[in-house]
Each structure stands twice: as C-alpha cells, then as structure tokens.
Structure 1
C-alpha cells in the first residue's frame, strides 16, 4: 500500500523533539529512493514546519557503473531541489571483509557529508526485509537468542558524532517499490545484492524459500529493559581503577546465570580488552564456568585476565600482543583498541607498554588493589615517550579510554548501558537522539519508536 510509506514518513517527522535538517542516505536503490521521495513529500506538504532535507550518495567505487549511478541520483535530487553530495571511497579496498569495511567507510563519509550540509541526523532506508535478514544472520551465528535477537535498532549513534535513524523498519520492500511505481519513479538494482558470495544475499535467498519468517525473540523494549538493568548492576557492583582495572564484588562475580549480569560483566571486560564485540558462546561458557566455581585463580579470555582473589574479582588487560604506536604531532591514534591518544607535542611520540614497574603500578597500589594485581595490570598500561631517543622532557598528550563496544556504533536501545560503562571509565554520557525516546531510564516502553512499528498501524 503506497499510502503506508507516506504515513511512516509523516509519523517519523512527528517523532522529533524539534524540527531539524535531515540527511537522507540515497544509493539509488528502491529503499533509499523511496525514503527520499517520501520525506520530500511529507516536508513539502507542511506536515511539520521547520524541517529541511539534504541527501548524500556514497560511491564505494566497487563497480564500474557506480559513478554513473551516483551522478543520476544527484540529477534526481537537483530536480527535487534537494541539496546533494557524492562522497567516494578513495584508496585501496580490503581483499576480505569488504562488506564490513564498506559499512564502516559509508557511515564515516555520511557523517562528514552531514557536517558539510549542516544536517542534524542521518536517515537510512532499512526495511522490515533487512531486519528479518539481520535476525536470521545473527541466529545462524548463535547471536539470535537473548539481546542480539532484537535485530537492528531504529536509532543508532555513529562515532559519538551523529544519530542514524531508520524510519522504514516497519515497511516491506514491496511497500516501498509500490509507492515508487505509483509515482513513476525508477530505481537501480545493485548486482551485488544477488551475489551469493555475501552472507546477507544467501540468507535473503533462504528466507524467500521459507514458509516462515524469523521472529525476533526480543523486542526493542525488552532489549532496552535488559540494557537498563545491566546498567544498574554495573553501577552497583563494579568499580574501575585508573581506567585499566575493574574490581567486581565477589558475591556478584559468579552470578553468570543472570543474563543481564553476564552481559554487564562481559561488556566491561570488552572495554578493558579493546574489543568492539562480546566474546563468542564457547568463550562465555568457559568464563562462566571459571567464575561459578568460586575458587581463587586466574584465567584469560579475549585478552583480559579474570583474576579471582579472596576479596574480589579483578579484570585487566593481559600483557601480551601490545604493539607500539607512533603518533605524529597534533594527531590522534588508537592504541591497543583501548585508548585514544592525542599528541600535543611538536614531534612524534610513541605509545608502548611499560618495560618495567611504572607509576601505574604505584597508583593502583595506592588505590587499594592487591600488589600482584597492580603489577600485572600496570604492564599493559600506556606509556608515552618521544619517538626520537635524543628528545627528553615530559610529554604533552591527551589520553582517554576508548569504549570500543559503543564509540563507533551505539544501538539506541543500549544507550542506558553505554552511559553506565562510559561513566565507569571516566567518559561523558553519549548524546541523546533527536527523536523522542520511548524507553525511559528503566527501559520501559511500548515496543519501539512510533515509526518502528508495523506501518499498518500508521494509516
């Protein structure tokens, strides 16, 4: 039903706390072009005053015809009077993991385009079809039972910079194509969407031949509630010392049958290990088994040492695989996935792990940690020195903990938990989305933002 597409666009505009400028990500395919046309129509009809629309096309440079398609989208936007930019992925492309790399670069370029066009947020054309594929893929990887089963979030913060919104998650691709056909608007079909080399394409083919679509075992509201409870558990039972050691109350440490606590603890561990994802099922089982035994001892998983003592559980980075990182003057680099380091000097500096006992060791002892824990944890702390040995003196550098789990991609329904983790490691809270968040700080809500629900309820 074409009218459901306009209804979803109108409801999307009504969800904003205040009018703003929206950047539509438009590839030229049916989903993104439908988003552009629907938002342009809704804004043009004055459904809510004060909104404006801009657009950006990312040319990944992976197909010969991609530049021509981007130019066609630019011409289409010009006909509608919509400011438009084309951003091209320059440089060499990876031989493996091309889709993940392309996704990362796409959002980076979209964020840059949003800044250039003074946009307040980015809107993408992800549909219910994309959501079902995502749920099926996560389930196949063993991630679809529990919080991962909620699928894509209707809001996502990229790089602590800008919110990405998905207003069409309640619509099918057929709805959008019907809408475009009724308006006489054509679109491109990317041949990579039919290439079985890619996981999503294989899953899409399997879903077409299936009699039943996958159902998300967790709703967005359930995921938000889990996030809120995990945040409360973190605030009650975990302390972090000098950003490199987490101290966990012994009575809570072994409570690994509690899914929310398990997720909370492993999220803290992921930050300490510089990982942007939680460990796999087998590793989680190994960690749980160790902690549930309740016996003193140490184990290592995901680059993190789980050091259980009679007075508490301590988590810290294993002092292995710690490479050096040279940072040019004025530049910022990530060291070991754990720290953002900005060089405030006029000469290059190098970040390494200490070769011997350092001031980190004493600071941890002064904080009340057992000497053995302090010594081991200090060996994985950042040490900054001039890259050239002949340069002496103190180093001006800004060092902040990187929240690898959330600093690049933060699903909106995990913001409560992300804030708790960020504050634990001395970082600021993440910015709120521009749309009304129907999940309060206790994670309660009616199941998603208005434009995330089935579009039939929006007519």
Structure 2
C-alpha cells in the first residue's frame, strides 16, 4: 500500500526549482516529527543536493516545554540533522497569546534559518489544520466569500513569504494527522502532545472539538487556484486603473472606481486603500458596503473609511490618508522606525524626528506638476512625512531612507497572492517580492 506521507515528501522535493537546505520547524508533535522524518527519508533516496536543518521554538508557556525541545534535539542528533532551540524570552501578553506566539515563532524561525543557512522553512501543517483554519475564518467573517474581499477564503497557502525574506512551505496540507501518526507508529517514532491543543480556553481547540463532533466545516472554501486567479485579475485591474503619486495618493477614473459589483476590483481598491491608510487589513464588510454605495452613486463628494479619504471629483477619485491622529516619531542615530503604519524610515546617521507636513509648498507643487488637482495636492501634502534631522545643515531627504510599507503583505504574504502583492509593490515604488523556491503548486488538482 503506498505511503501517503512519504509520497508527499517526495513530491515536495520534486517541486523545488533547485535543491537547497530546508529548515524544518519541529515542535515535537506528531505532524512536525512526521515531516522531519519523511523528508529525511526522501532525501536519503534521491541524494541530489538537498539537506535538512531543524529548529524548535520553545515558547516557555508551560512546564515541560524545554524538555520536549531537548528531546527533539536528541532525535535530530540521531538522524545527523543540525538542530537549534530558540526560546521566547521576556514577558508574555495577557491576551491574544496564541496569535503572539505564532508571530514570535515565525520571527525566531527566520533567525534560525539565517543562522543555519537555510533556503526555506517547512512546517507540518496538515489537512486537519487547514479545515480548522477555514472554519475559524468563516466563523469570524461568515460572508467574506460573498463580498470577495476576505483574506482567508482559501485557507492556508502551501507557500507563504515571511517578512519579505524567507519562504515558509507547507507540504502536508493534503495529509491528515491520522496518516502521519500511522507513519510514525509503523517506524517506532514517538511524539509529544501539546495540552493547549485541547484546552477550550483557545479558539482553535474549541473549534477542533466542534468539528470533530460534526465532522464538517461550514465555511465556503475557495481552492488555492481560484484564489490565485482572483489575485491575478485584481493585479491586472490595479495596473490598468490605479495611478499613485509619491506613495501618498491614488487616482482612479470616476467611472472605473464605481464598478464595485466586481469582487476582484473591490478587493483591489480596498487593498490600495489599506496601504494608503497604513493598515494591515482590509476594511470591515459593512464599511465596504457603505463605500460601494458612495462610489456607485457617481456624484462628487467625500467619504472617510479606514483612515483614508475617498475624495470624488469630476475628473477622478482620489484616495489619501485622513489628516487626523498623525504621530510624531523619534529615531535614534542610525536607527529605523515605522511612521504612521505607512513608511519605514531609516536614518543615514543623525537622530531624526518624523511628523506630518512634509516640505509644504514644494511637495504641493510637485504633486500638481504630476497632474494632481490643486485642492487634493494641498491635502495630501499635509499628511506626508516631514523628516527633521537633529543636526543642523542636513536636509531630511539626505538624512533618511524612506520606503512605503505594505502592511497587507510585508509580514505574511500567501503565495497565491504574490502577483497582486507585486502589482501593489510596483505601484508604490517598491521592488517586487522574492519568488518562492518551488514551482507553482496551485495548478495541481486539489483534493
């Protein structure tokens, strides 16, 4: 009888553009232990340039976690696989602990990948995890498929870019946990069970119990290929319809802006708005519905949503940051900081102060010369960053490197959204995101 787990590991290796070093995230649970051993076995078969490293992140949230990480280290030593243990030090948040742990886990895995010279990270997420993720996102946003703006309708992507620098790959998304445990049991390999997986204090554990009882998930599911197709079309619409000036303001023809019955255009427009507003997420469904009504009406006017002004004039629709609650940021000499969620600013040497206002008349004139109406140019200049160095005689432009931040994708970029993310990056004067180390897996038959 074919071994689905080992076959999945073999297929995963054949998906790479070229062989490299894979860092496996190993918690000690059955899914990650199965992934590590399956990849180790598959690489031993092919002997064609692949190598493994492993990392265990000890979140230090319960007794016994350090011992479990050490047990993984011993298992890796038996296999001849380099292994690092990284511990989450410091105080832990009182609320949202699982989300914070997830963010810290990827941060530390990225550190380990750099230290171990890995080309990518592989995680043991399974078909069971996928089912739970889709159901969780469906419970939070029960109509996101109807609106077409939801970020989770296709569940977890088989590829995900973390922090614009390291790809996280999920080769077991079509493999069930029971298959992995059978694979390990047949080889006499044990694992540890995290008690938080059945702790009803946590949303995923509660939902897992409900799904186990019902054996069904109610969320409407897109396939990864459908999501990728939607993202590619949204990217084309962005390139066709949206013009951005100085990463500060977007211009869209009024007739094009009003086509809000098109879900891909809605998502494209709301994504551009999220960047201009310095947000990491799209507006809520109700807000999108109100915006749709406003834009479809066609009459001149303004509406503010998600910290963005939608300023519709006869010659076009203009989107820019609303002039409220703009922060003041201090940056140490040679340091960096994020201003207003919109701009990453790095000092070239001196200490800096960043506030709103830019260089007033000079910026307004540049925007007008680029084709922006005078009234819109004035408002946009008021919400642009003004960088003042502590040392006299150095201009802000000389003292700092400024880059637009794309909060939707700069931390976590699902592979099926990369074409759309690239279109937004180019629109805002950024380089495209790095390509994944594997061939496109979304065109394969999904089961």
TM value normalised by structure 2: 0.95
Q: Which residue of 1 aligns with 2:428?
A: 425
Q: Which residue of 2 aligns with 1:247?
A: 251
Q: Which residue of 2 aligns with 1:457?
A: none
Q: Which residue of 2 aligns with 1:57?
A: 56
Aligned-residue Cα RMSD (Å) equals 1.6
- Conserved? CA contact 2:358–2:385, under 8 Å: no
Single out whichever of 327-336 and 351-360 deviates more from structure 2: 351-360
Single out whichever of 276-285 and 305-314 deviates more from structure 2: 276-285
- Conserved? CA contact 1:58–1:110, under 8 Å: yes
Structure-2 separation of matches of 1:171 and 1:30: 12
Single out whichever of 156-165 and 212-221 deviates more from structure 2: 212-221
Matches within 5 A, 1:198-347: 198-214=202-218, 216-345=220-349, 347=350
Matched, 1:134 2:98: no
Single out whichever of 134-143 and 306-315 deviates more from structure 2: 134-143
Structure-1 separation of matches of 2:340 and 2:277: 8
- Conserved? CA contact 2:134–2:221, under 8 Å: no
Residues 356 and 123 of structure 1: is their aligned pair in 2 closer, same or farther, counting only changes over 3 Å? Answer: closer
Structure-1 separation of matches of 2:219 and 2:258: 32
Q: Which residue of 1 aligns with 2:81?
A: 82
Structure-2 separation of matches of 1:352 and 1:424: 24
Number of residue pairs the alignment of both structures matches? 440
TM value normalised by structure 1: 0.93
- Secondary structure of the residue aligned to 2:27 is coil
- Conserved? CA contact 1:234–1:420, under 8 Å: yes
Single out whichever of 95-104 and 296-305 deviates more from structure 2: 95-104
- Secondary structure of the residue aligned to 1:279 is coil
- Conserved? CA contact 2:53–2:82, under 8 Å: yes
Q: Which residue of 2 aligns with 1:402?
A: 405
Matched, 1:70 2:69: yes
Structure-2 separation of matches of 1:333 and 1:161: 19
Structure-2 separation of matches of 1:374 and 1:292: 24
CA shift, 1:213, in A, is: 3.5
Q: Which residue of 2 aligns with 1:442?
A: none
CA shift, 1:253, in A, is: 0.3
Q: Which residue of 2 aligns with 1:4?
A: 4
- Conserved? CA contact 1:2–1:178, under 8 Å: no
Q: Which residue of 2 aligns with 1:393?
A: 394
Residues 216 and 78 of structure 1: is their aligned pair in 2 closer, same or farther, counting only changes over 3 Å? Answer: farther
Structure-2 separation of matches of 1:93 and 1:333: 23
- Secondary structure of the residue aligned to 2:153 is helix
- Secondary structure of the residue aligned to 1:149 is coil
Structure-2 separation of matches of 1:358 and 1:76: 65
Matched, 1:91 2:95: no
Per-residue CA deviation, residues 255-296 of structure 1 (Å, 9 max, x unaligned), is: 111000000000000110111111111111111111111111
Structure-2 separation of matches of 1:250 and 1:406: 27
Single out whichever of 121-130 and 333-342 deviates more from structure 2: 333-342
- Conserved? CA contact 1:356–1:379, under 8 Å: no
CA shift, 1:438, in A, is: 4.5
- Conserved? CA contact 2:4–2:179, under 8 Å: yes
Q: Which residue of 2 aligns with 1:450?
A: none
Per-residue CA deviation, residues 227-262 of structure 1 (Å, 9 max, x unaligned), is: 110011000000000110000111110111100000
Matched, 1:352 2:351: no
- Conserved? CA contact 2:346–2:400, under 8 Å: yes
Matched, 1:378 2:377: no
Per-residue CA deviation, residues 164-190 of structure 1 (Å, 9 max, x unaligned), is: 000000001111111111111111111
Structure-1 separation of matches of 2:119 and 2:101: 23
Structure-1 separation of matches of 2:277 and 2:217: 37
CA shift, 1:225, in A, is: 0.6
Single out whichever of 189-198 and 205-214 deviates more from structure 2: 205-214
Structure-2 separation of matches of 1:209 and 1:182: 28
Q: 2:170 aligns with which of 163, 166, 169?
A: 166
Regions of 4+ moved over 6 Å:
none
- Secondary structure of the residue aligned to 2:160 is strand
Per-residue CA deviation, residues 170-214 of structure 1 (Å, 9 max, x unaligned), is: 001111111111111111111111121211111111101114344
- Unpaired runs of 5+ residues, structure 1, are 440-444, 448-452, 455-459
Per-residue CA deviation, residues 359-392 of structure 1 (Å, 9 max, x unaligned), is: 3222212212112111111111111113x4x744
- Conserved? CA contact 1:268–1:421, under 8 Å: yes
